[in-house]
Chain A
């Protein structure tokens, strides 16, 4: 069964450093998403991406965040200068369509720890 994969599973970084989180969406999906979940809190939408551009972004997705689809398979989230409060689980998701009834498939997540 096709699945979304994410690497690394755990990333530890120093405050102020740049990190890149990687995702490989399901191959025939067209819409890609990033979410974060701070420990013990709810899942929060960050950004959606389609046709090589951002479709929607939340208030959380400020200038320190960027997304990219550098090739035909990877979808990345870059955090330019990490802060302590960026420590969270980051989930990538993909869906075949954008319609609001489309199921999103989530990857296993990358746990980011900022020291």
Chain B
């Protein structure tokens, strides 16, 4: 059974803090990885794709560690508006394309 595991949190941090989330996946055949953001009772929205070499988008940095089968998301200089649930999504390659979502990590940024 393919599993994607995340620490549910909540991570409660002050504005300006740096916070990091990890996500582990069980299927070594997984080929693509994403971080989505989900606000309360809203739809998931793509935050960033995660590439093998790691990638950065402004205050957000994503890393992939294939050997240990985890991906990470680092948020620098947290804003109040970053408060949300962050979902890890993992896809296989080949003939099957069924994305597996983690349960999400809740982030609360306070003043």
Residues of A within 8 A of B (CB): 41-45, 48, 55-56, 58, 89, 91, 98, 100-101, 103-109
Contacts and interface: CB of A to CB of B under 8 A. Distances in A.
Please tell me the size bucket of the interface on B. Answer: 20 to 34
Contact of B43 (A41, A58, A108): A108
B103 A107 contact: no
Contacts of B53: none
A91 B97 contact: no
Given A100-B31, A106-B43, A108-B42, A44 B101 contact: yes
Contact of A106 (B45, B49, B102): B45
A91 B96 contact: no
A54 B28 CA distance: 26
B108 interface: no
B44 A98 contact: no
A80 B66 CA distance: 42
B48 to A, nearest CB: 10
A45 B46 contact: no
Contacts of B98: 45, 48, 56, 58
B100 interface: yes
Contacts of A45: 98-101
16 contacts: A42-B104, A43-B101, A44-B101, A45-B99, A45-B100, A45-B101, A55-B97, A56-B96, A58-B98, A100-B91, A100-B97, A101-B32, A103-B46, A104-B46, A105-B46, A109-B42
A64 B32 CA distance: 31
Contacts of B97: 48, 55-56, 98, 100
Nearest to B44: A106
Considering residues A43, A91, A106, which has the most beta carbons from chain B within 10 angstroms of its beta carbon? A43
Given A56-B96, A91-B43, A101 B101 contact: no
Considering residues B31, B96, B99, B100, which has the most beta carbons from chain A within 10 angstroms of its beta carbon? B99
B87 interface: yes
A43 to B, nearest CB: 4
Contacts of B43: 91, 106-109
